[in-house]
Structure 1
Amino acid sequence: MHLDHPDTYPHRHTYSAPTRPDGTRRALRIGLGGPVGSGKTATVAALCRTLRDELSIAVVTNDIYTREDAEFLLREAVLPPERITAVETGACPHTAIRDDISANLEAVEDLEEATGPLDLVLVESGGDNLTATFSKGLVDAQIFVIDVAGGDDIPRKGGPGVTTADLLVVNKTDLAPYVGVDLAGMARDAKAQRGELPVAFTSLAAEDGVAPVRDWVRERLAAWTATAP
């Protein structure tokens, strides 16, 4: 689920065509947003490691004035270098994922053209606040990542990222005992804010800690390819 803002978004940014110019199904695009330090880049890295042997993946990262997140992924060798690219937004990251998405669309399309047919493109936003959402013209689904170190009141406070993302990820659960966070309370608050939309609790420090997110991505991809032309 995404927020609709018909008075804000140009029509061409409201929905993204599901096919390539040749009529074949394009890659599924999933956006990852969330506050600074919540673990977005680490989640992207973990997803790439666990899915790269079964899927053709590429990544677009967004930072204001640097390529730091892309450079981290390159250092970690989670994918071949030609499958990772960076967008320097020059302003608040949400502007390039929600308002003027042209730079990100160009990056995604260039990756598909350069590396051949892709199954999955992950678009990571730069660190932003709880209001960050992705345009439907850019991604097909959105993951929003928060972490327990930010406080167990984050789900209760809500905000578009928490309440409307297709998947809410509560990361760094291993830190809960050290920061006095009630994970059960976070789960109840998230349920109250999100209804039936899913929530995943993760600890990337644990072996296969990204499993709940990976499984959700697999489900989204299966649904996406089932509707292929």
Structure 2
Amino acid sequence: MSPTHRDVATVGIGGPVGSGKTSLIADLVPRLREAGLDVGVIANDILTQEDADALRERFAGIVPDELVAGVETGACPHTGIREDPSMNLEQIDAFLDSHPALDVVIVESGGDNLGATFDPELADYYAFVISAAEGEDIPRKRGPGVVDADLLVINKTDLAPHVGADLDVMAADADRVREGPTVFTNCKDGDGIAQVREYLSEEVLFA
């Protein structure tokens, strides 16, 4: 019997528009490949393949083109990751039809608000990405994505001084509103990406 989406590890990456989800994935996937893992990537958006096309170009020679796909939800991006993940599950099944030994599929949500979460059938583990440039008050707003995510990623730390965001305050607020870990990243310089990979490895990939 051919493997299905239930037979492969799945990791969701969610967060608002501009938080750096695509950049995080672009930095993360090569590190997973270096660890010997076969990776598929799905980029969700409303009516565009732009993120998928950008990732396919970025991963040339690293991930086969057919293992990078775009899912056009046609509605609010969270629809395809939470309310009805069937389009994403079908795409994972399609990956496995041609690559049955696939180790992990990363599912990027379309840019959404702080309420985006993943259906447990779609994502075994999910990270929620916010940007320090959005302001230091984002963690204490207690959006479901921030509170419930397995891993909170506070990205674009290099921009914090330019918007008056105090990273220590963001860290303290994150600790107060959530039980899971928080990682600070700067995808521009690769800061914190190794730590994200370590969490994924410990909790999902080699659990």
Quickly name the TM-score band, shorter chain normalised: over 0.9
Q: Which residue of 2 aligns with 1:179?
A: 163
Is 2:179 the partner of 1:211?
no
Distance 2:49 2:116 in 1: 20
Q: Which residue of 1 aligns with 2:71?
A: 87
Residue identity opposite 1:69 in structure 2: D
Deviation, structure 1 residue 50: 1.2
Deviation, structure 1 residue 175: 1.1
The alignment partner of 1:128 has SS state of coil
- Give the alignment of 1:150-229 within 5 angstroms: 150-195=134-179, 197-207=180-190, 209-220=192-203, 221-223=205-207
Contact 1:82 1:115 (8 Å CA) reproduced? no
The alignment partner of 1:31 has SS state of strand
Residue identity opposite 1:214 in structure 2: R
Q: Which residue of 1 aligns with 2:19?
A: 38
Q: Deviations over 1:6-57 (max 9, x none)?
A: xxxxxxxxxxxxxx8669x822100010000000011111111111131110
Q: 2:127 aligns with which of 143, 147, 152?
A: 143
Distance 1:22 1:109 in 2: 8
Distance 1:39 1:93 in 2: 16
Deviation, structure 1 residue 158: 0.9
Q: Which residue of 1 aligns with 2:40?
A: 58
Contact 2:56 2:65 (8 Å CA) reproduced? yes
Consecutive unaligned residues in structure 1, runs of 5 or more: 1-19, 224-229
Question: Structure 1's 150 and 49: CA in aligned 2 closer, same or farther, altered over 3 A?
Answer: same
Deviation, structure 1 residue 116: 2.5
Contact 1:26 1:119 (8 Å CA) reproduced? no
Residue identity opposite 1:149 in structure 2: A
Distance 2:20 2:166 in 1: 19
Distance 1:190 1:26 in 2: 33
Deviation, structure 1 residue 176: 1.3
The alignment partner of 1:133 has SS state of coil
Deviation, structure 1 residue 209: 4.0
Normalized against structure 2, the TM-score is what? 0.93
Q: Which residue of 2 aligns with 1:115?
A: 99
Instruction: State the 4+ residue runs in structure 1 displaced beyond 6 angstroms.
Output: none
Distance 2:190 2:141 in 1: 31
Distance 1:101 1:214 in 2: 25
Contact 1:26 1:118 (8 Å CA) reproduced? no
Deviation, structure 1 residue 117: 1.2
Distance 1:146 1:43 in 2: 11
Q: Which residue of 1 aligns with 2:53?
A: 71
Q: Which residue of 1 aligns with 2:83?
A: 99
Q: Deviations over 1:129-183 (max 9, x none)?
A: 0000010111101110001011100001011000000000000111111211100
Contact 2:184 2:192 (8 Å CA) reproduced? no
The alignment partner of 1:186 has SS state of helix
Question: Structure 1's 139 and 207: CA in aligned 2 closer, same or farther, altered over 3 A?
Answer: closer
